[in-house]
Chain A
């Protein structure tokens, strides 16, 4: 009854197949393009019930319903924009992992750039200041050299 254990490996791998993938694949589509749109959309929407999970990865009841709704809308011929609008009208900005560009989301979108510029400005000021200090020290040194020369000239006389 010696059984090569390595043969069990594929079976074990099947057992650990991600639950999220299994859920997504439970829906039947007419073609690959629809299937890919479904995957992309379920990955982009955030589950309203489970914080920090997308619709694909969530086992929450409402995530299941929303996946079913996306599936239905894709088969009914809705565009991605229509599906996004459908979600937005019911769950608001919360549903998007990528918030829409609007006056009140400007800071969210461009804040990082703003902080980068601010940091760059501060860094530039510090560097410039250090540079000017060095120049002054050099100037002082030159002055000392000149004075030495002057002293020597005077001594020669």
Chain B
């Protein structure tokens, strides 16, 4: 009996080592900065605020179609990087882009829009970052995909450039429109 047990026990450290290798190997390719949003498939939080142009704005003013909610700030350099993509989307007009001016100052926001162009249907002014907390935002830029019923369907953290649009947003929108493409 002892021979076979001895042989089997010899494999325990080897198996443990292989298990460790699998875990660490996987760990190499995980993104620890990924913070999944808990708001997916939840309705937009209630809000009653003003736009950067000082117009009152609330949930009823949200577009009744698929739209993007883009969190931006005049201090935010990556926002300039994604700006051309937002401008293109705005010009094409298929998807309205609603802005959330996050932890910024009204005048700085207005100057930024004047200087770079305004891709937003309107921008909700969130100087304190309080609305950002309700959205689970932790820094600009972030972009939410919201469906026609006002339900958040996807959240992207970081720059929304053409490649992110093509690889992530376009397929997500296709799926929203036609959840089951097979006949």
Smallest distance from the beta carbon of A47 to chain B beta carbons, Å?
8
Residues from chain A with Cβ under 8 Å of B162 in the complex: none
Chain A interface size, as a band, is 20 to 34
Residue count of chain B within 8 Å CB distance of chain A: 24
The A/B interface has a contact count, at CB < 8 Å, of 57
Residue A155 is within 8 A (CB to CB) of chain B in the complex: no
Whether A69 and B133, one on each chain, are in contact in the complex, defined by CB atoms closer than 8 angstroms, is yes
Residue B138 is within 8 A (CB to CB) of chain A in the complex: yes
Give per-residue flags for B1-34: 1 if the beta carbon is below 8 A from chain A beta carbons, else 0: 0100110010010000000000000000000110
Residues from chain B with Cβ under 8 Å of A122 in the complex: 9, 12
In this complex, which of A60, A62, A133 has the most chain B Cβ atoms within 10 angstroms of its Cβ?
A: A62
The A interface is mostly helix, strand or loop, or mixed, namely helix
Choose, from B35-43, B62-70, B111-119, B143-151, the stretch at the interface.
B35-43
Q: B139 — nearest CB in chain A belongs to which residue?
A: A49
Choose, from B81-89, B93-101, B124-132, B164-172, the stretch at the interface.
B124-132
Residues of A within 8 A of B (CB): 48-49, 51, 60-62, 65-66, 69, 88-92, 94, 122, 125-126, 129, 132-133
